[in-house]
Amino acid sequence: MTIESLPTLAILGGTGDLGTGLARRWAQAGYQVIVGSRTLEKADAAVADLREIMAERGVGEVSVQAMENLAAAEAADIVALTVPFSHQASTLEQVKPALAGKILIDVTVPLVPPKVGRVQLPQGGSAGQIAQNLLGESVAVVSAFQNVAAHHLQEGAGVDCDVLVCGNDKEARAQVITLVEAAGMRGFHAGPIDNAAAAEALTSVLITINRQYKCHAGIRISGLDPVE
């Protein structure tokens, strides 16, 4: 795939560590990336900080721009959602018209403060299922990246972590796996969106491990190396 044919990516709620980490990795891989936020000012500030960090680390010219969430969703071919669970539904309601016919990568984890180290899945089953039900079948919701520490994404190097990719559309999952690989990780088809509950629940388990061992743990899939 040539640079010219790569899809344009938008990251909604992309001003935090996770969103800017994904933005950095995808931009370095040659993708056009849009950082979205509820306000253009926040998006502009995040992009400026991102460009400064990348320049300090010797990264060449990249395509990263700032927009409000709705404009970002409209301009992108594939959209990633990295907002807190408490803002998931409201953000999706705002951008829903712009997502028809597109892939939405849902990175949301249904953590319930203050006990984020305890698995507390929502009544809807999982954040991924909630997103799919809210958006309808015209949007291919793919759940991914819940078990990757933002700390590692910010480092800009390869990540010793695998990504479980769940969604009802196999081709959409395959496109997201391509983006996982572009970000320096291995991605695995992990079944329909119903299975997103497993990856989301693992996040609380990893938070507990990280606290106990003072690390940034992820997951690895054994027995399938190399991935075909």
Q: Taking the model in full, what pTM does it have? A: 0.95
| Residue the block writes with tokens 């698995």 | 119
Cα distance between residue 16 and residue 12, in whole Å: 10
Q: Does residue 192 sit within a domain?
A: yes
Please count the structural domains in the chain.
1
Q: Does residue 209 sit within a domain?
A: yes
Domain that holds residue 121: 3-213
Q: Does residue 222 sit within a domain?
A: no
The CATH number covering residue 37 comes to 3.40.50.720
Q: pLDDT-derived band of residue 228, with 50, 70 and 90 as boundaries?
A: very low
| Residue the block writes with tokens 């404009």 | 71
**Do you find a cis peptide bond into 226, omega within 30 degrees of 0?**
yes
CB distance 13 to 69 below 8 Å: yes
Q: Does residue 69 sit within a domain?
A: yes
pLDDT digits (tens, 9 = 90+) for 166-201: 999 999 999 999 999 999 999 999 999 999 999 999
Coil, strand, or helix at residue 84?
coil
Task: Give the number of other CB atoms < 10 A from CB of residue 52.
Answer: 10
Question: What is the reported pLDDT for 4?
Answer: 65
Q: Does residue 26 sit within a domain?
A: yes
Amino acid identity of residue 132, one-letter, is: Q
Question: What is the reported pLDDT for 59?
Answer: 78
Question: What is the reported pLDDT for 102?
Answer: 98
Q: Does residue 114 sit within a domain?
A: yes
Q: Does residue 221 sit within a domain?
A: no
pLDDT digits (tens, 9 = 90+) for 3-38: 568 999 999 999 999 999 999 999 999 999 999 999
Q: pLDDT-derived band of residue 99, with 50, 70 and 90 as boundaries?
A: very high
In 3D space, the residue among 84, 91, 80 whose CA is nearest the CA of residue 176 turns out to be 80
In 3D space, the residue among 115, 190, 98, 102 whose CA is nearest the CA of residue 146 turns out to be 190
Angstrom distances, CA of residue 210 to CA of 86, 152, 201: 23, 13, 15
Question: What is the reported pLDDT for 225?
Answer: 62
Question: What is the reported pLDDT for 2?
Answer: 54
pLDDT digits (tens, 9 = 90+) for 127-161: 999 999 999 999 999 999 999 999 888 876 668 89
Q: Does residue 123 sit within a domain?
A: yes
Helix locations, the chain, DSSP H: 17-28, 40-56, 69-75, 88-99, 127-135, 150-155, 170-182, 196-213
pLDDT digits (tens, 9 = 90+) for 34-51: 999 999 999 999 999 999
Q: Which residue has the higher pLDDT, 61 or 87?
A: 87
The H or E element containing residue 24 is helix 17-28
